[in-house]
Amino acid sequence: MQLPGGFPLPGRRASSLRRRLATAAVALPVVLVVPVLGTPAVTCLAAVAAAASGWELAGMSPRPAGRQRNLGLVIWPAALVSVAGARASGVWDGAWWPVLAALGAGGVLAGVLCAASRRREPAGWRAVAAALYVGLLLAHAPALRARADGLDLILLALLTTFAADTAAYFTGTAVGRHRMAPRISPGKTWEGFAGAVVGAVAAAAALTAVLDPGLPLWAGPLLGVAIASAGTGGDLLESALKRAAGLKDSGSLLPGHGGVLDRLDSLAPNLAVVYWFAVAIAG
């Protein structure tokens, strides 16, 4: 049931929040412990997440006829993560970014070919999203962990993203009035984005000081702004994909949160942001 104006009843909102917190209580320790186990463990988790996200993308379609699961969309992003993980773990010494670029370009080419075909429902955008939005971004996870300061950096990326998302959720719920992109994500507001920036800046500054991830203290707040901005952009991109498919959530694997892609929408781009930020600042 809903109140007049389309607002959900408080009881339903409270129930959704309880499911959200329960899922987080189970998933968060796993996500935080895996980086401690090393680069191979991070590679495995990222590859599984990439495959699950590709599976969800394969099912995104406004029509049931287009929801045929394409295993290529599952294998492609997982392959990108695996290539990065193999190089980061020292399994082979070749240059890995050219390989990732080739695989990513292959995803784009597959998307173009799908769009140019005469199929009833082209899946080109899903191939591009699986290769670039999921695979290429998540490939930064093992690359980030393999750095000398990788554990601290990946924890900084995770915790700052969680802080930004949490601050955006509660700020937007409490005082959100001005919508950022009503046609794409009606629930996302500028007030929520401001909360995300404040939360990310505070978290990144504190974690830079406490963890000492090889970054100067002045870089923490700057990285926080970048994380809040990239995370919001990733969230809006995923919302656009769901809106094109007429879906509310990417899946239902995570109660209270939706699908795996619903949780990676902001984290995946932030892994890339932290990686390249560390390369630019710390070398």
Give the span between the Cα atoms of 201 and 227, in whole angstroms: 9
pLDDT, tens digit only, all 283 positions of the chain: 334 344 444 555 556 667 667 666 777 787 888 999 999 999 999 999 998 888 888 777 665 555 555 677 788 788 888 888 888 877 666 565 666 666 666 656 665 555 555 554 445 667 677 777 888 899 999 999 999 999 999 999 999 999 999 999 899 888 878 888 888 888 888 999 999 999 999 999 999 999 999 999 999 999 999 999 999 998 888 888 888 777 777 766 666 567 788 888 899 999 999 999 999 998 7
| Distance set, CA 259 to CA 107, 112, 128 (Å) | 22, 26, 19
Give the span between the Cα atoms of 159 and 142, in whole angstroms: 17
For the chain, where are the alpha helices, taking DSSP H only? 10-33, 39-58, 71-88, 97-116, 124-128, 137-138, 140-145, 150-175, 190-211, 219-245, 260-282
pLDDT of residue 256: 57
Q: Residue written as tokens 């001005």? A: 178
Burial of 41: CB neighbours in 10 Å, binned 0-12, 13-18, 19+: middle
Long-range CB pairs of 206-215 (<8 Å, 24+ gap) are 207/155, 207/156, 207/159, 207/160, 208/156, 211/152, 211/155, 211/156, 212/152, 213/149, 213/152, 213/153, 213/156, 213/278, 214/148, 214/149, 214/152, 214/153, 214/278, 214/282, 215/277, 215/278, 215/281, 215/282
* Range 174-207 burial, b when 16+ CB lie within 10 A, else e: eebeebbeeebbeebbebbbbbbbbbbbbbbbbb
Instruction: Name beta bridge partners: 179.
Output: 189
pLDDT of residue 1: 36
Candidates 150, 172, 152; CA nearest to 228 is 172
| Distance set, CA 37 to CA 45, 46, 63, 158 (Å) | 11, 13, 42, 15
Q: Are 207 and 159 in contact (CB under 8 A)?
A: yes
Contacts for 108 with CB less than 8 Å, ≥ 6 apart: 127, 128, 131, 132
| Distance set, CA 202 to CA 136, 157, 278 (Å) | 28, 13, 18
For 176-259, where are the alpha helices, taking DSSP H only? 190-211, 219-245
Domain ranges of the chain: 13-282
Give the span between the Cα atoms of 88 and 144, in whole angstroms: 9
pLDDT of residue 5: 41
